Chain A
Amino acid sequence: SYELTQPPSVSVSPGQTARITCSGDALPKQYAYWYQQKPGQAPVLVIYKDSERPSGIPERFSGSTSGTTVTLTISGVQAEDEADYYCQSADSSGTRWVFGGGTKLTVL
């Protein structure tokens, strides 16, 4: 099976920059996507195709890639950004679509 690895938690103070990483062997070949999920709500797409931002998503959300690691960066973190964040991608053949285990972002 194929896995994406995320840190369980990240903590930042308001106004600082949060970086959430996601590692997977196939990421040099496959796009990564990022979702924000607040308690009791469905996930929301915040980044697609590594670094594209859907309409309506604030500019403080950005994505980048380097080798087998992709990173979601939230600049000028706000209290409302506190949530779980999941990366998603596929194995090298595109057979298995998988999510990372999720990262809980805490705004101190």
Chain B
Amino acid sequence: QVQLQESGPGLVKPSETLSLICTVSGGSISSDYWSWIRQPPGKGLEWIGYIYYSGSTKYNPSLKSRVTISVDTSKNQFSLKLSSVTAADTAVYYCARTNPIAAAGSGYFDYWGQGTLVTVSS
């Protein structure tokens, strides 16, 4: 059974870069797609983007200018960097295994990490 665990600072200052790592266990990262999703406190879910183990990425157009997702297959990890953060980026950040449906261009998330709260504040 695939398990995912997010890690990283819980507090980031405005204008700085948020950095998180997702560690995958119980399976190899080198066979699937992997996403970051976030949820502001008391609000809904927002897909940030995904990466394939080969390094190819797809990002939410609304965040694309600030997001970088990368993968380290040797550590079975993938990471998120979100630059120039503001209070609006305060959220629980989840990592998830992703199943793209090639013919449709959509996809879904079948295994999720427990999430980590990142607060943007000075």
The residues in B between 1 and 22 inclusive whose CB is less than 8 angstroms from any CB of A are none
Report the minimum CB–CB distance from B50 to chain A (whole Å). 8
Report the minimum CB–CB distance from A57 to chain B (whole Å). 11
In this assembly, does B26 line the interface, its C-beta being within 8 Å of a C-beta of chain A? no
The residues in A between 50 and 108 inclusive whose CB is less than 8 angstroms from any CB of B are 54, 86, 88-90, 93-102
In this assembly, does A38 line the interface, its C-beta being within 8 Å of a C-beta of chain B? no
A44 CA to B112 CA, complexed, in Å:
8
Pairwise interchain contact A30-B60, C-beta atoms closer than 8 A: no
A22 CA to B107 CA, complexed, in Å:
17
Pairwise interchain contact A94-B60, C-beta atoms closer than 8 A: no
Pairwise interchain contact B105-A42, C-beta atoms closer than 8 A: no
Pairwise interchain contact A49-B101, C-beta atoms closer than 8 A: yes
Pairwise interchain contact A99-B45, C-beta atoms closer than 8 A: yes
Interface-central residue, B94, B101, B115, by most chain A CB under 10 Å = B101
Return the contact of A102 from the options B44, B101, B104 (Cβ within 8 A).
Answer: B44
Pairwise interchain contact A42-B112, C-beta atoms closer than 8 A: yes
- Binary flags per residue of B81-122, CB closer than 8 Å to A gives 1, else 0: 000000000000010000101001111111011110000000
Binding site for A on B (CB under 8 A): 44-47, 60-62, 94, 99, 101, 104-110, 112-115
Q: Which 7 A-B pairs have the closest CB atoms?
A: A94-B105, A90-B106, A42-B112, A33-B108, A99-B45, A97-B47, A102-B44
Q: List 11 A-B pairs, Cβ < 8 Å.
A: A1-B62, A33-B106, A35-B45, A42-B114, A43-B94, A43-B109, A45-B108, A49-B108, A96-B62, A101-B44, A102-B44
Binding site for B on A (CB under 8 A): 1, 29-31, 33, 35, 41-45, 48-49, 54, 86, 88-90, 93-102
